[in-house]
Amino acid sequence: MGQEEAISQLRIQEYLDDVSGLDIPHSESQWHHIDVASLLDGNKIEGHELDSTTGSSLIFLPKSAMLCCPKSGSIHHYPKHLLHCFVDDNRSKPNDVDGVLIRAELFSISPNQEQLSWECSCRSEMEVPEMQSKVSRWLSWLNR
């Protein structure tokens, strides 16, 4: 096994370990571990994010992203060139936007029923560095 393949396998395992840490039904966890993992085998994962509320995941590949939704059993694929990042920094006007200091969205330009809208936000100054780091990773991936 080459170094690149070993790193890819490690990233797949990191993803599956993070999914195992979610508080989601066993059937949804199994869906990630079986269906999604089989699609990832042989692919290079550059990163991933999980939504602990929905159990959904966003997986970053070299030229695209995959949105995996266990509740519907659907996997959406988005070419990188159709994705954009929007950041709304409200730190100078926090009372105008329900206390959200920073909101970021990774979104796609695609047909209405197939759009990606992966959002995150923070309401505390303590969360700002983590939010900035996340957006930095998104932009780094988008610009590779």
What are the extents of the domains in the chain?
Answer: 3-142
The arithmetic mean of pLDDT across residues 79-106, rounded, is: 85
Asked whether the beta carbons of 117 and 107 are under 8 A apart, the reply is yes
- HSE at residue 51, side-chain half, CA atoms within 13 A, is 18
The domain 3-142 is placed in CATH, from the list 2.60.40, 2.30.240, 2.30.29, 3.10.350, at: 2.30.29
Lowest-confidence region among 63-77, 82-96, 128-142? 82-96
Q: Is 115 exposed, middle or buried (0-12, 13-18, 19+ CB in 10 A)?
A: middle
Query: What would the mean pLDDT of 32-59 be, rounded to a whole number?
Result: 92
Whether 8 shows a pLDDT value over 90: the answer reads no
Average pLDDT over residues 98-110: 87
pLDDT at 95: 64
AA letter at 127: E
